[in-house]
Amino acid sequence: MKIESIELRRITLPLVSPFTTSFGTQTERPCIIVSVHAEGVTGYGECVAMEGPWYSYETVGTAWHMLQDYLIPRLLGYDLDDPMDVWDVLASIRGHNMAKAALEMACWDLVAKARGMSLRDLLGGGRDRVAVGVSVGIQASPSALVDTVQRYVDDGYARIKLKIAPGHDEAYVTAVRAAFPDTLIQADANSAYTLADAPIFQRMDALNLLLIEQPLADDDIVDHATLQHELRTPLCLDESIHSPDDARHALDLGSCRVINIKPGRVGEHRRSREIHDLCRARDIPVWCGGMLETNIGRAHNAALASLPGFTLPGDISASARYYAHDVAGPDFALNDDSTLSVPTGPGIGVEPDSAALAAATTRQEMVARRAVAL
C-alpha cells in the first residue's frame, strides 16, 4: 500500500486527577496523534513523548520536528506491505524512538485494517483479556496515599503501583502495605535514587513488593546490577531499556529480573515483540508499561500485552482513570477480574471521535508527498 499522506496533530487532554512522579506534577497530557493514510485506509499511532525532557530526552517538540522533517519524508510514497519493515526504513535516523514508534505503530494499525484483522491477531497475541493495574502518583501524606489506593482497590484494581521519590518512599509504601496486606504492590522511582540509597531498598525488601521499577539512573544498567544483587525484591527496568540489545545486556549483567516494555520507549511494536521473545526464552516476566496514553495508545498497548510472555499486570488502566472525554472510543472499562478486554475489531479496534479530536487539537499539519532534498 502506497503511503499517500501523514497527518500530525498535537493535542492536549486534561487528566481526571493530577499525576505526581519524581519528575513533577502533570495535570494534562499533551501528545501527538499520527494518522497514516494509504489507499482509503487510515492507521493511527500516538507519540508518548512528554511535554519536557523528564522521562526521556524526547519531548512533544522534538518528536514533532523529527516526524515532520526526517521521519515522515522517508515514509511518504513508501510501498508498505509488512509493518516489520518500517524500522529499517527509518533506521538511518538515530534515536528518537518515541517519534519513530508513533509512525510504526500507525503502520501496524493500517496493515491490520487493510487485511481485515485485529492488531492483536496481526501481532500474534492470543488473549482476549489482559491483566492490568493502576499507577498511583505521589500523594501529600501516607494516609492520603492509602485513601487514594483504597479508591482504586474499590474500583477493582488488583495490582497497585506506587510512585516513589526521596522523602516519599518507605513510610508511604509501608502504610499501603499495612492497609492492603494481600494486594500486589510495586514501586516506581523513575530514576530518583543512587546506589548510596541502597539501605532504603534493603529495608523495603521486607514489604513483599512484586518489584521495584527503575530506582537508579535512566541510562544505567551497572549500578542496577549491584543493587539487584543486594535485594530479594526483583528490580524491573523501564527507562534504561531502549532496544532488544539493551534488554539482553541488562539480563546478562543481572541488572533486573523483570522488564517493563513500552513500545514508545523501545521504538515500535516489532522491537517490543523481540524483547518479549528474548525474555520469554529466559523465563523473565515482562509487562506493558503506560505513558498516560489516550485510547489510541491504550489500544496499541492492550494488543501488545496479549502476547503470552506478558505475565504481569500492565499499566493499562481503564480510560476513566485518565480522561473524562477521550479522543477515541469506545472507552476501555475494567472487568471484574482486573483485566481489560483486548479490542477485536479491525486494527487497533478504537476509532477517533472527530469532534473530541478537533476540540483537543492545538496544532495540525498534513504532510503529503512533495519533492524534498534529503
Residue type, 12: T
Angstrom distance (rounded) from CA 310 to CA 148: 27
The burial of 322, by beta-carbon neighbours within 10 Å (0-12 exposed, 13-18 middle, 19 or more buried), is given as buried
Of 7, 220, 238, 268, the residue at the interface with Mg ion (CB under 5 A) is: 238
Nearer to ligand OSB, 7 or 238 (CB): 238
What is the per-residue burial (b if ≥16 Cβ within 10 Å, else e) of 37-72?
Answer: bbeebbbbbbbbbbeeebbbebbbebbbebbeebbb
Q: Smallest gap, in angstroms, from Cβ of residue 292 to ligand OSB? A: 5
> Between residues 118 and 135, which has the closer beta carbon with respect to ligand OSB?
135
Catalytically annotated residue among 100, 113, 161, 163: 163
Out of 22, 97, 118, 135, which residue is the one contacting ligand OSB (CB under 6 A)? 135
Is 312 a binding residue for ligand OSB by CB under 6 A? The answer is no
From 37-45, 151-159, 188-196, 298-306, give the range in contact with Mg ion by CB under 5 A: 188-196
- Residue 163 falls in the annotated catalytic set: yes
Query: CA 367, 105, 265, 313: dihedral to nearest 10 degrees?
Result: 150
d(C-alpha 368, C-alpha 162), whole Å: 44
Coil, helix or strand for 225?
Answer: helix
Note whether 55 binds ligand OSB by CB under 6 A. yes
Verify binding: residue 188, ligand OSB, rule CB under 6 A: yes
Binding status of residue 188 toward Mg ion by CB under 5 A: yes
Q: Which CB sits closer to ligand OSB, 55 or 193?
A: 55
The listed partner (Mg ion, ligand OSB, none) that binds 290, CB under 5 to 8 Å by sort, is ligand OSB
For the question of residue 262 being annotated catalytic, the response is: yes
Rg (CA), the chain: 20
Q: How far is it, in rounded angstroms, from Cα 188 to Cα 327?
A: 28
Provide the binding-site residues for ligand OSB, judged by CB under 6 A. Answer: 55, 135, 188, 190, 238, 289-292, 315, 317
Instruction: Give me the active site residues, please.
Output: 163, 262
